[in-house]
């Protein structure tokens, strides 16, 4: 049997990087897309070297996952490198959006006094939500999925709750969860499951950019029954186990992977 592959959008950091390491350790070859300048590229190179040191393949692309031409080029390279039916897991873990009020407070000044623009809102929903659909379409068309594959998309509690300045990303998360439900029913006949993964508050580069992140961390620490925040490795370990063949009946869910943070009072 061919070695299974995972494709990770957002491979160079946070959940994506932890998943790359965990799946490589579990025997997967890793394809990844990321969008980074020099410092991020150094991290991506180090990650690829770690994966190769584990005896696995690492095939990374530093491109905008939401750009149609770059996606077409990347898909051509993936189709050439991956045997048909070898893609067992597709993880959408992109963090790139505008964090801004829709209607700023009357007291706001400078850049904070400007509400989100159409371009910013469209871009955020496109990158963090709609791109899942276009990649899934192409991966199916290329025949890369197997008959027991998994699609995971990283959502957040912003899909159903409001947080100051998080509105555009909230909208993207609501769209992402709707897309996952739709893919779950459309792809079930092909043996592909689709689930949203709702991680707890996790210290990553993306978290630091959320306005008031300190308050989010404080609240999460107060609620998480484990007395600590979620780590990317906590989530990656669950994803590896959820990718086992016996979980194929688990489809179309929003799975909380937060150590019990969300259900704790
Ligand atoms: N950190 C948290 O507390 C938390 C909690 C729940 C859900 N999430 C979600 O998890 C996902 C990943 O977040 P993270 O915290 O790991 O972020 P991160 O900033 O650590 O990593 C983001 C990754 O996305 C890549 N990326 C961004 N825009 C891209 C683009 N246009 N094309 C290609 N690659 C691009 C970056 O290069 C990087 O690899 C996000 O969807 C985020 O909303 C995060």
Measure the CA–CA gap between 100 and 259, rounded to whole angstroms. 29
The token pair that represents 263 in the structure block? 């259900």
DSSP 24: H
Q: Ligand 1: which residue has its CA nearest to atom 21?
A: 13
Q: Ligand 1: which residue has its CA nearest to atom 10?
A: 154
Ligand 1 centre to CA of 90 (Å) is: 15
Confirm whether 262 is domain-assigned. Answer: no
Confirm whether 17 is domain-assigned. Answer: yes
Confirm whether 146 is domain-assigned. Answer: yes
Confirm whether 96 is domain-assigned. Answer: yes
Domains in the chain, number: 1
Measure the CA–CA gap between 148 and 154, rounded to whole angstroms. 20
**CATH number of the structural domain spanning residue 11:** 3.40.50.720
Q: Ligand 1: which residue has its CA nearest to atom 20?
A: 14
Q: In the chain, pLDDT over 90 holds for what percent of residues?
A: 94
Question: Do residues 120 and 192 make contact, with C-beta atoms less than 8 angstroms apart?
Answer: no
Confirm whether 112 is domain-assigned. Answer: yes
Q: Confidence class of residue 183 from pLDDT cuts 50, 70 and 90?
A: very high
Question: Do residues 5 and 15 make contact, with C-beta atoms less than 8 angstroms apart?
Answer: no
State which ligand 1 atom lies nearest to the alpha carbon of 157.
Answer: 6
Write down the mean pLDDT value for the chain.
96
Confirm whether 265 is domain-assigned. Answer: no
Structural domain boundaries, residue 241? 5-257
- Check: pTM over 0.75? Answer yes or no: yes
The pLDDT assigned to 102 comes to 96
Q: Which residues have CB under 6 Å of ligand 1?
A: 10-16, 33-36, 40, 64-66, 93-96, 127-128, 154, 156, 199, 201-202, 204-207
Ligand 1 centre to CA of 205 (Å) is: 8
Confirm whether 217 is domain-assigned. Answer: yes
Q: Is pLDDT at 128 greater than 90 in this prediction?
A: yes
Measure the CA–CA gap between 49 and 76, rounded to whole angstroms. 23
Q: Confidence class of residue 57 from pLDDT cuts 50, 70 and 90?
A: very high
Measure the CA–CA gap between 14 and 6, rounded to whole angstroms. 16
Confirm whether 226 is domain-assigned. Answer: yes
State which ligand 1 atom lies nearest to the alpha carbon of 94.
Answer: 24
For a mutational test of ligand 1's pocket, the pick from 95, 229, 256, i.e. the residue with the most ligand atoms closer than 8 A to its C-beta, is 95
Ligand 1 centre to CA of 84 (Å) is: 28
Measure the CA–CA gap between 38 and 43, rounded to whole angstroms. 9
């Amino acid at each position: 049997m061919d070695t299974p592959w995972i494709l990770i959008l957002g491979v160079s950091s946070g959940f994506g990087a932890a998943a790359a390491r965990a799946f490589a350790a579990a025997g997967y070859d890793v394809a990844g897309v990321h969008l980074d300048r020099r410092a991020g590229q150094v991290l991506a190179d180090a990650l690829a070297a770690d994966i190769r040191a584990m005896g696995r393949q690492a095939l990374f692309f530093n491109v905008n996952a939401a750009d149609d031409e770059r996606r077409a080029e990347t898909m051509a390279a993936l189709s050439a490198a991956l045997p048909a039916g070898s893609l067992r897991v597709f993880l959408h873990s992109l963090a790139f959006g505008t964090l801004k009020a829709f209607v700023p407070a009357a007291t706001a000044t400078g850049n904070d006094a400007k509400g989100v623009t159409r371009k910013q809102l469209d871009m955020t929903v496109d990158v963090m939500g709609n791109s899942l659909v276009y990649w899934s379409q192409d991966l199916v068309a290329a025949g890369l999925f197997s008959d027991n594959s998994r699609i995971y998309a990283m959502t957040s509690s912003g899909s159903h709750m409001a947080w100051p300045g998080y509105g555009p990303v909230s909208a993207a998360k609501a769209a992402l969860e709707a897309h996952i439900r739709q893919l779950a029913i459309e792809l079930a006949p092909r043996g592909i499951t689709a689930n949203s993964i709702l991680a707890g508050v996790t210290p990553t580069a993306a978290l630091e950019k959320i306005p008031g992140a300190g308050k989010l961390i404080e609240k999460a620490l107060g609620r998480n029954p484990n007395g600590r925040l979620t780590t990317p490795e906590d989530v990656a370990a669950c994803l590896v186990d959820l990718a086992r063949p016996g979980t194929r009946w688990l489809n179309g869910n929003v799975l909380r992977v937060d150590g019990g943070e969300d259900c704790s009072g």
